[in-house]
Amino acid sequence: MASRLLSGSLAAGCRKRLATSVSVPPPPLQRQRGNHTTTAHCSASKTSTPLEEAVSQQTAAGPQKPEQQLAMDSPTGSVPKKQKHLVMPSPVLPPKVPADPSAWDNAMLLVDKPKGWTSFDVCGKLRPAIAALLRRKNRDVKVGHAGTLDPMATGLLIVCVGRGTKAVDSFMAMRKEYSGTLRLGEGTPSFDAESPVEQRAPWEHITDEDLLRVREGLVGEIQQLPPMYSAIKVGGQKLYEAARKGQEVERQPRTVTVECFDLQRDATDAQSVHFRVVCSKGTYIRSLAHDLGAALGSAAHLTALRRDAIGTHSVVGAWDVQQLAQQLYAQRDERNEQQAKQEQQALEQEQEQAAVTAAEDGDGLTPS
């Protein structure tokens, strides 16, 4: 794709001063007096805190039982529950699925979601295939994805299987990397190409410098308003359900972090801008495109989106969902054939043994 890099190098969008958006409080024992900083020292006549009094009482009362010690250390005064150690799932990577069925007890898959599929569609395709391989009912096989991708989007979807579903939150908390294209001067209700263009605004006046200048305000820790076309619930109702009814629901902005927002204007179509984004959990790339257009005094919406990475996991070499399902069913059929062959061999051996036994019994018969 022919494109030209905007002035201010590609790395300029990635080296964002995240530290500038984080305020660091002064040390707790330092106090400001005029233009001087003094350090407060603990006084010998200070009043004992409740914790210090409890420790004093413990010393006087002698050794306590472990449960009593845990209760005293707990802020609520109760014994904290023992936290279970999370065992991260093992990746099942292409090109072949494992022959050992136990590999699916705690597994994760890297899937390249195709355009037009929902994340739920991917899980719905794989669950019966895995269940067939394991000879279980669909409802007995746990399958879940770690982060929704819109139907229009393609790219990396992490699918967890079995005990691996307990690690979904861990994967969702990882940073995400996206690439895609937005179109200036056109706005849609969903902020992407899934809904028709309902807003048109001038865009010809927008220069490369304008894009870079406005981009700066969308990098770092920012407040982002979720789009109406999203699965977020407000008052027990999903926003997209209200949006389809033509209703506008008041939403609260969310704090998200955009580490990198690189822009490349298409060399043959100046209305199209290609981008790369590295961001935190909960960031809506559709909203980022919409906010960029609004800040430019115009409009914008997504025309293409691809998730390239989640944490250290890349979409490069990920499973094609159709091919993966075919492999699962093929392995099921192969295993059934092998089992049928083994059962047939065992039956033939039994018949041969029965024939031998019958012959031996016949030779030993005494004529009447």
81 is written with which tokens?
Answer: 């529950």
Same domain, 230 and 115: no
The 3-state DSSP composition of the chain as helix, strand, coil percent (nearest 5) reads 35, 25, 40
Same domain, 182 and 292: yes
From 282, 310, 338, the end of a domain falls on 310
Same domain, 117 and 218: no
Same domain, 95 and 184: no
Q: Residue 275 sits in which domain range?
A: 176-310
**One-letter identity of residue 6:** L
* CATH of residue 283: 3.30.2350.10
Please tell me the predicted confidence (pLDDT) of residue 341: 77
- Which of 326, 272, 276 has its CA nearest to residue 301? 272
Same domain, 184 and 286: yes
**One-letter identity of residue 338:** Q
Residue 43 is assigned to a structural domain of this protein: no
Residue 241 is assigned to a structural domain of this protein: yes
| Maximum distance among all Cα pairs of the chain, rounded to whole angstroms | 128
174: which residues sit within 8 A by CB, 6+ positions away? 281, 310, 311, 313
Residue 209 is assigned to a structural domain of this protein: yes
143 is written with which tokens?
Answer: 């399958």
346 is written with which tokens?
Answer: 């065992």
Please tell me the predicted confidence (pLDDT) of residue 330: 93
Please tell me the predicted confidence (pLDDT) of residue 78: 52
Please tell me the predicted confidence (pLDDT) of residue 82: 56
Same domain, 223 and 168: no
Q: How far apart are the C-alpha atoms of 48 and 42, rounded to whole Å?
A: 12
Q: How far apart are the C-alpha atoms of 71 and 128, rounded to whole Å?
A: 47
- Give the pLDDT of the chain (368 residues) as one tens digit per residue: 445 556 444 444 554 444 443 343 444 434 343 343 333 333 334 444 444 444 454 445 455 444 444 444 444 455 455 557 889 999 999 999 998 999 999 999 999 999 999 999 999 999 999 999 999 999 999 999 999 999 999 999 999 999 999 999 999 999 999 999 999 999 999 999 999 999 999 999 999 999 999 999 999 999 998 888 777 787 777 877 777 777 787 888 999 999 999 999 999 999 999 999 999 999 999 999 999 999 999 999 999 999 999 999 999 999 999 999 999 999 999 888 877 777 777 887 887 888 788 777 766 555 55
21-37: b (≥16 Cβ within 10 Å) or e: eeeeeeeeeeeeeeeee
304, 43 Cβ separation under 8 angstroms: no
Same domain, 137 and 221: no
Angle at alpha carbon of residue 10, lines to 9 and 12, rounded to 5°:
65
Same domain, 191 and 111: no
Residue 22 is assigned to a structural domain of this protein: no
Q: How far apart are the C-alpha atoms of 95 and 97, rounded to whole Å?
A: 7
253 is written with which tokens?
Answer: 């902005």
Same domain, 192 and 306: yes
Please give the C-alpha separations between residue 246 and each of 68, 151, 194, 284, 317, in angstroms, as whole numbers.
58, 21, 16, 21, 41
Q: How far apart are the C-alpha atoms of 83 and 237, rounded to whole Å?
A: 33
Count of the separate structural domains present in the chain: 2
14, 257 Cβ separation under 8 angstroms: no
Instruction: Give the residue numbers marked as catalytic.
Output: 150
Residue 57 is assigned to a structural domain of this protein: no
Q: How far apart are the C-alpha atoms of 224 and 258, rounded to whole Å?
A: 10
As to burial, measured by CB atoms within 10 angstroms (0-12 exposed, 13-18 middle, 19+ buried), residue 308 is middle
Q: 321-363 and 119-134 helices cross at what angle (nearest 10)?
A: 10
Same domain, 292 and 217: yes
Residue 77 is assigned to a structural domain of this protein: no
316 is written with which tokens?
Answer: 């490069």
Same domain, 292 and 181: yes
Residue 15 is assigned to a structural domain of this protein: no
Same domain, 194 and 137: no
Residue 67 is assigned to a structural domain of this protein: no
Please tell me the predicted confidence (pLDDT) of residue 308: 98
Please give the C-alpha separations between residue 98 and each of 68, 104, 105, 106, 210, in angstroms, as whole numbers.
49, 9, 12, 13, 52
308 is written with which tokens?
Answer: 């390239």
151 is written with which tokens?
Answer: 């139907």
Q: How far apart are the C-alpha atoms of 145 and 346, rounded to whole Å?
A: 43
